Structure 1
Amino acid sequence: MTRPLLILALAALSLPALAQSGPIAPGGRRAESRRAAQSGVASYYAASLHGNRTANGERYNHSALTVAHRSLPFGTLLRVTSVHNGRRVLVRVNDRGPFIRGRQLDLSGGAADRLRMRQRGTHRVRYEIVNPATLPSRQAPPRRKVRHV
């Protein structure tokens, strides 16, 4: 009888600590640790893969702005910034990979062109998760002042 009460009491004591630390993101990590910009090496898909199925079921479009990541949920938007030239691109996760040690992202051909990384093959990049609600296209247009005459 006292054992269930003890377990409930311990659980109640740990709830405030869990609430303060933030929600758990997919993969078991805390959401805050995923929000910070990360860096690593990115490569890009070969044009010969155009039309093949990606891990989320859609067909790979070499000129689209998409990316493969090992664990981020499909549909996640990432802002990828080249460390070499400062160019940025907004991409959507639609595939899994890369499966080569030391690489974090596999960009589509269109995203690689925007970053101007085609000649190098791989590129040092910084990337961060973007909240779609903060994008300018998702925000309400500014309200216009109405003049009454």
Structure 2
Amino acid sequence: MRWTGWALFALMLFLAGCGGRYLPSWPSGSSAPSTPKGHGGTGKPYTVMGQTYYPLQSAEGYEEVGVASWYGPDFHGKRTANGEIYDMYQMTAAHRILPMNTRLLVTNLDNGRSTEVRVNDRGPFVGNRVIDLSYSAARTLGVVGPGTARVHLRALGGPIYFQGPFYVQYGAFTVRDNAYRLRDRLMARGYPGTRVTEGDVAGVHFWRVQVGAFPTLDQARAARERFLPESPDCFVIAD
């Protein structure tokens, strides 16, 4: 199974002040992908438990061998990383770095069964596991009973790209008035698009202050650099 996992992922992001997709600084010498609108920020780098993952811009030619797990009732009806509602009866899967909507041919190397799935979530973040299958995909491949299986993955899809708008998440608060006071101060400093968004994680309600909107990642990153002395944990998110 996945880490109780997507919940853990979300909790870590929220407690760090996150409400969107985390965009840490790109490695020296690299650049963010140019991206048409409509796919969200799920192609951007993100960090889980101290590990930063850099999703691929293209799945072309991708193959991998590793351990598959599956996730089902505990996540049924909840949102996936790309914003869809998880349906355990659809043929979908979670992968750490493949582009969203990549089609994968998954072969169970223990019994020879194969099936096609579509990537719509992130994970798994456990050991040597390379994919989390939906319940239906796991049942088709004979993974439900044992819980895990050694599999071969082969991508059938092509490239995918993403874009903003972008925001700098300045902080998150459990007291609503504190968030709105900060928003007003940031707006007065010349950031009229600053917003407050809300979310519940593990029974705690957060108000998140996000400065923006910035039309390009470079502009958002420059703003983040300006905010770092006063908000060391701020980061860029993409809508």
Does TM, normalized by the shorter one, top 0.5? yes
CA distance in structure 2 between the aligned counterparts of 1:47 and 1:126, rounded to whole angstroms: 25
So what's the TM-score if we normalise by structure 2?
Answer: 0.41
SS at structure 2 position matched to 1:35: coil
Aligned to 1:99: 125
Rate the CA distance shift 1:84–1:99 in 2: closer, same or farther, 3 A. same
- The residue type paired with residue 87 of structure 1 is R
Aligned to 2:153: 127
2:97 pairs with 1:76: no
- The residue type paired with residue 121 of structure 1 is G
Aligned to 2:74: 48
Please state which structure has a larger fraction of its residues in helix: 1
CA distance in structure 2 between the aligned counterparts of 1:28 and 1:105, rounded to whole angstroms: 14
1:28 Cα offset (Å) = 8.3
Please state which structure has a larger fraction of its residues in strand: 2
Give yes or no for contact 2:107–2:113 (8 Å, CA) kept in 1. yes
Aligned-residue sequence identity (percent) comes to 44
1:116 Cα offset (Å) = 1.0
1:47 Cα offset (Å) = 1.5
CA distance in structure 1 between the aligned counterparts of 2:148 and 2:113, rounded to whole angstroms: 15
- The residue type paired with residue 92 of structure 1 is R
- The residue type paired with residue 136 of structure 2 is G
Aligned to 1:23: none
1:50 Cα offset (Å) = 0.4
Aligned to 1:108: 134
SS at structure 2 position matched to 1:80: strand
- The residue type paired with residue 113 of structure 2 is R
CA distance in structure 1 between the aligned counterparts of 2:75 and 2:56, rounded to whole angstroms: 32
So what's the TM-score if we normalise by structure 1?
Answer: 0.65
Aligned to 1:85: 111
CA deviations over 1:25-63 (Å, ceiling 9, x no partner): x9587969x615310000000322100000000000011
CA deviations over 1:56-77 (Å, ceiling 9, x no partner): 0000001100000001110000
Rate the CA distance shift 1:28–1:62 in 2: closer, same or farther, 3 A. closer
CA distance in structure 2 between the aligned counterparts of 1:30 and 1:112, rounded to whole angstroms: 27
RMSD (Å) for aligned C-alpha atoms: 2.3
Rate the CA distance shift 1:92–1:48 in 2: closer, same or farther, 3 A. same
1:102 Cα offset (Å) = 1.0
The number of residue pairs the alignment matches comes to 106
Structure 2 alignment gaps of length 5 or more:
1-43, 45-53, 159-239
